[in-house]
Chain A
Amino acid sequence: MTTNLTTSKADKIDRLAELTARRETASGGSLWVEALRRLRSSKMALIGGGVMAVFIVLAVIGPWIAPHDPTAQLWRDEVRVNQSIFVGPRGDNWLGLDHLGRDQLSRMLVGARQTLLVGVVATLLGFVVGVLIGGLSGAALAFGGKAGRRVDTVLMRVIDMALALPSLLLAVSIAAVLGQSLTTVMIAVGVVQIPIFARLLRGSMLAQASADYVLAARALGVRRRRIVLGHVLPNSLGPVIVQTTLALATAIIEAAALSYLGLGNPDAAQPEWGVMLAQAQRFFDQAPMMAVYPALGIIITALGFTLLGEAMREALDPKLRS
């Protein structure tokens, strides 16, 4: 009891020391540090980050904690689809069984990894290619003179064309070329993100390029490359980072939609939330809960990412700078 009391007291003192120290470093800290500090005190970021953390942990350890084999039809005899007999939650299967007698909970846990993988890889693809194109385009237009303007025009028209293509159509075409697989879904969703990242970074860079401190750097005689990499780019990344978290949410939803349409993993036995949703749809009137679990999973995860993204946007908002 006494040890408990003293530790809590020590905790408090530590916290106090930490707080004062933080204030000191804040006065000398950069804006990134300040944004991070604001992010930590935001409830939205806490909830979003919490959801994200749980999701990532589940995705990583899912296959090990799954109580049953997600692909084995262990209770096949208990489910009779043509007689409308489904099995709901029970002691052995917390979320019940699906239409083929497989354990729903295990399928959810193992499926999380696929869903996360699709989201992260697709977003990464969109981010890397989009930032390259957008950065090049923005830098060329702002500092490249006449030739730069031409480079920007060509790049942006290509991006506009990509924007004009519906993502589903794009995915179907990519699937036709690459064959139906999870990689197809990743590429399709990633490619759809490219123009968004490119446009966003380009616009942000153009706004920064006309800022007074860039003019001041030019007046100082700073070289162009240093102005782009040292001034414009770091100040333009804020919105792009926020977009990354929001894109993760969209990517998960879009990947689920593509899987739902049957463009994903051809092995239908492999669990993935989008596939699960698609399969459950056929029995929606008889066993609605079968669709609710993967749907809830997708919604909560997407919401978590979106909340975190919103909180980051607020933390990085220049209007909130002291």
Chain B
Amino acid sequence: MSLLELDDVKVHFPVKRGVLFDRTVGHVYAVDGVSLSVTAGQTYGLVGESGCGKTTLGRAILRLNDITAGHVVFDGTDLAALPDEEMRRARRRLQMVFQDPLGSLNPRQNIESILAEGMAAHGIGADREERRTRILEILERVGLPATALSRYPHEFSGGQRQRIGIARALVLEPDLIICDEPVSALDVSIQAQVLNLLEELQDSLGLTYVVIAHDLAVVRHISDVIGVMYLGQLVEEAPSDVLYAEPRHPYTRALMSAVPVPDPDLEDSRERILLRGDLPSPANPPTGCRFHTRCPWRQAERCDTERPALTDIGGGHRVACHFAAEIADGTLEPVRELAPKLLGAETPAAEVPAEVPADAAAQREKGERGEKESTTP
């Protein structure tokens, strides 16, 4: 049963200019038509590079951003249509864990006050004593000592701060927690602890998560279903194992190939798709398939003009690519200039020196010499 259902959600930010009265001169299409569904008790992972709109989407679910169009159906109610006060009350059941553990805690509040604030806003617990009992219970659950109550955020370590952030969400007994990059600000050793804590809590409390991350290993570890976003749209969605075993969208393949392998032999010989160029501006997205400007498999005409729909290719695997089947079969050849190093392909090493203009080469030489000079004392 799906707990959260997004239907063609769009978040467009107006670009305003004007001296006295603002005039809208354009839009940033941060999220542009995302539909997905999150099953109760599961974890939905949302990945994509910086600026692809994953954080905006996460915030839109909680209506921390205005939703331009579409429906966010949570347990039968469309959050996008709720009046402000009802939305505020609905937030008890949808909580969020933030990326920056320190920044998301008010430096002037002690831990008790931080944790009690949400309870007060939703009328949970009759008095201070009752709230404190509940807070202590939650603190123990997330692995913090009771002495933390009277202390302030800056006195804790990064991992502990994130535990406070998780506790703040948990005191409201939510059904869904949106974790926006929950571990990216933490040390690797602490990351595992926090991820394990999230999983334990899911098991014992029956929580549903939407985890937003750019770290593929993190998402793989924790997610049941993964959605890949590019420039405000979902380009591929599949159960976690399937997505990692057989990525079908060219962008997903490029993302996967960017994860290093701890075996040096394998690392040297495996498929690597290096994408050329930057993420296009979401204020002026490309026509047709949004990935066509960087896609090594791009085909004339169709990719430039027709927007591919997210289509099911079986087993809950959805891909938004016109040529997903052909690419998987190997009947479509990638363009080398857009992806210089590809599976099994010879490195076009011979071409490189010819392409470098003479003055650039001289400059590089100079730079190298300069480096040498600077290293000798």
Contacts and interface: CB of A to CB of B under 8 A. Distances in A.
Is B truly associated with A? yes
A190 B36 CA distance: 58
Interface stretch (A9-17, A27-35, A83-91, A120-128): A27-35
Interface in B31-51: none
Contacts of A218: 64
A213 B103 contact: yes
A215 interface: yes
Contacts of B168: 216, 220
B234 to A, nearest CB: 23
Given A212-B103, A231-B106, A219 B151 contact: no
Interface SS of A by simple majority: helix
Contact of B121 (A27, A153, A157, A221): A221
A214 B151 CA distance: 20
A211 B103 contact: yes
B121 A226 contact: yes
A72 interface: no
A220 B118 contact: yes
B95 interface: yes
Interface in A220-248: 220-223, 226, 231, 234-235
A321 interface: yes
A248 B100 CA distance: 38
A322 B110 CA distance: 16
Interface in B89-130: 89, 91-92, 95-96, 98-100, 103-108, 110, 117-118, 121-122
Contacts of A28: 150-152
Interface of A: 27-28, 30-32, 149, 153, 157, 211-213, 215-223, 226, 231, 234-235, 318, 321-322
Contacts of B22: 149
Interface residues of B, number: 34
A219 B64 contact: yes
Nearest to B105: A213
B62 A235 contact: no
B20 to A, nearest CB: 7
Contact of A31 (B59, B88, B152): B152
Contacts of B98: 212, 215-216
Nearest to B59: A215
Given A149-B22, A219-B64, 12 more contacts: A27-B155, A30-B110, A211-B103, A212-B104, A215-B98, A216-B104, A216-B105, A218-B64, A220-B118, A221-B172, A222-B117, A222-B118
A293 B64 CA distance: 60
Interface of B: 20-22, 59, 62, 64, 88-89, 91-92, 95-96, 98-100, 103-108, 110, 117-118, 121-122, 150-152, 154-155, 165, 168, 172
B122 to A, nearest CB: 6
A31 B152 CA distance: 9
A235 B108 contact: yes
Contacts of B110: 30
Contacts of B150: 28
A215 B103 CA distance: 10
B108 A30 contact: yes
B96 A216 contact: yes
B184 to A, nearest CB: 14
Given A27-B155, A31-B152, A220 B103 contact: no
Given A219-B91, A221-B88, A213 B152 contact: no
A277 B121 CA distance: 59
Contacts of A212: 98-100, 103-104
Nearest to B18: A153
A226 B109 CA distance: 13
A219 B96 contact: yes
A216 B88 CA distance: 13
B104 A213 contact: yes
A155 to B, nearest CB: 13
Given A213-B105, A223-B121, A321 B62 contact: no
Contacts of B117: 217, 220, 222
A142 B154 CA distance: 26
Nearest to B94: A219
A157 B19 CA distance: 10
A220 B172 contact: yes
Contacts of B20: 153, 157
B88 A321 contact: no
Contacts of B107: 31, 213, 235, 318, 321
A156 to B, nearest CB: 11
A241 to B, nearest CB: 14
Highest count of chain A CB atoms <10 Å: which of B98, B104, B151, B155: B104
Nearest to A149: B22
Contacts of B151: 27-28
Closest 3 CB pairs of A and B: A221-B91, A212-B103, A220-B118
A160 to B, nearest CB: 11
A273 B287 CA distance: 72
Given A153-B20, A221-B118, A30 B152 contact: yes
Contacts of A30: 108, 110, 152
A220 B116 CA distance: 11
30 contacts: A28-B151, A28-B152, A30-B108, A30-B110, A31-B107, A153-B21, A212-B99, A212-B100, A213-B103, A213-B106, A215-B59, A215-B98, A216-B96, A216-B98, A216-B104, A219-B62, A219-B95, A219-B96, A220-B91, A220-B117, A220-B121, A220-B172, A221-B92, A221-B118, A221-B172, A223-B88, A223-B121, A226-B121, A318-B107, A321-B107
